[in-house]
Structures are given as C-alpha cells and as structure tokens.
C-alpha cells in the first residue's frame, strides 16, 4: 500500500538532497536515510569504488535492492542518488510506494557547487580526467535534459537555487504536510465510497 509520508527526494547531484534531507526530516518529525550511504554501508565500499571495480550495473542492482527494503515504511525522508529515476524498476517502486519531491537547480548553480567535488563518477572525463567548469556545466545540462522527463513527474517540486536552506526547508515542510493530508483524505474517501458500493 502506498504511504504518502514516505518521502523520496530527487534531484541532480549537488541540488541539496543530503543537506536539505536531514533538516526536512527533523522539521517533519520523520526519520532520514541517504540511499547512497545505505548502499555504501551494505557494500562496505564507496560508490566511486563500486563504479570503478564492479561497474555501474552492480551499483544499480544494489540501489534497487536497497530501495525495495524501504518501501512499506512511513514517516521517512529518503535522499535518492541523482540517477535513480532512470532505472525503470526503481522509478516504479518509488511512484507506487511514496511521494516524490524534486529539488530543482540550474546547470550553472550545480556546476558551481560540484566543480571541486572529486567523488562524482558521472562528472569525470575520460580515464577519470578532471573537467573544467564549462565542461562540467555542459555535461550537467546534457544529463539533466535526459532526466528531466522523470523529474517532471514529481508530486512536489521546489527551486533550490536562490533561497536560503532554511526557507527551502520551511516551504517543503508546508507543501509536504498539505500534500500528505490531502492524499490521506482522498484515500479515506475512496475507501468509504468502495464500502458503500459493496453494501
């Protein structure tokens, strides 16, 4: 059964999921899990190492398996890795079991935040070569374009470019509380309609 209070945070790497996630969970009184950290602790190695030693497919399988264990939970905020929604099985699991929230940022802002990070496998050039700021921004734009159709299906979204984190968390908290309440009311109404039809 779908639990609307199982909140999945999606967005490109650097959009603020790991920072906003714990604050949002705290504000809602929910638990928090970072999916990538959960995978690393299961595998006993970093995501960069999983990619390098076992390839992307192994990582995606681990991702799906870890997600499966979270479905059915409620009052939980889960920060997703940037590419999770590209996996059709992961995407279906998320849509069927919880509420999807998109943290949206422009390629320029993302490039600024990510240009000094060394732990993002998708933002490296050939043979792990370090990319320039312009190359990173171009690569982000290309990946975003591919992912945008899935991001666009989120139940809620919020822009993380311009506002301070505190404001973003407040805005998201309000939106989520309202959404979960309305979804629960709709579910109860549906249930009562179904019971009436059976009588």
- The per-residue pLDDT for 169 is 94
| 121 part of a folded domain | no
Q: Are 85 and 151 in contact (CB under 8 A)?
A: yes
Number of separate domains in the chain: 1
DSSP 33-47: EEHHHHHHHHHTS-H
- The per-residue pLDDT for 99 is 95
What is the distance between the alpha carbons of residues 16 and 52, in angstroms, rounded to a whole number? 25
- The per-residue pLDDT for 51 is 86
**For residue 10, pLDDT beyond 90:** yes
Mean pLDDT (whole number) for 95-99: 94
Neighbours of 189 (CB within 10 A): 10
Top pLDDT among 130 and 108 is at 108
| 199 part of a folded domain | no
- The per-residue pLDDT for 126 is 65
State which residues form the domain around 87: 6-108+151-191
pLDDT band at 127 (very low <50, low <70, confident <90, very high): low
Top pLDDT among 149 and 163 is at 149
| pTM given for the model | 0.88
User: In this predicted model, what pLDDT tens digit does every residue of 19-42 receive, in sequence order?
Assistant: 999 999 999 999 999 999 999 998
Percentage of residues of the chain with pLDDT beyond 90? 52
- The per-residue pLDDT for 95 is 95
What is the distance between the alpha carbons of residues 85 and 91, in angstroms, rounded to a whole number? 5
| 117 part of a folded domain | no
CATH number at residue 68: 3.40.50.300
* Residues 6 or more apart in contact with residue 83 via CB below 8 angstroms: 122, 147
**Exposed/middle/buried for 75, CB within 10 Å: 0-12, 13-18, 19+?**
middle
| 130 part of a folded domain | no
**For residue 77, pLDDT beyond 80:** yes
* Among 80, 79, 72, residue whose Cα is nearest residue 98: 72
What is the distance between the alpha carbons of residues 29 and 11, in angstroms, rounded to a whole number? 22
């Amino acid at each position: 059964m779908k639990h609307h209070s199982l909140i999945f945070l999606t967005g490109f790497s650097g959009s603020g999921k790991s920072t906003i996630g714990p604050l949002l969970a705290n504000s809602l009184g929910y638990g928090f899990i970072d999916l990538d950290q959960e995978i690393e602790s299961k595998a006993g190695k970093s995501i960069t190492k999983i990619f390098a030693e076992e390839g992307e497919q192994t990582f995606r399988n681990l991702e799906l398996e870890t997600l499966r264990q979270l479905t059915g939970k409620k009052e939980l905020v889960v920060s997703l890795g940037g590419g999770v929604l590209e996996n059709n099985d992961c995407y279906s699991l998320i849509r069927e079991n919880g509420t999807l929230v998109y943290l949206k940022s422009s390629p320029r802002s993302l490039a600024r935040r990510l240009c000094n990070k060394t732990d993002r496998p998708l933002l490296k050039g050939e043979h792990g070569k370090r990319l320039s700021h312009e190359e990173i921004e171009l690569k982000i734009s290309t990946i975003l374009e591919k992912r945008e159709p899935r991001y666009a299906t989120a139940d809620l979204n919020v822009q993380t470019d311009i506002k301070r984190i505190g404001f973003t968390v407040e805005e998201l908290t309000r939106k989520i509380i309202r959404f979960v309440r309305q979804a629960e009311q709709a579910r109860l109404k549906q249930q009562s309609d179904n019971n009436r039809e059976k009588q």
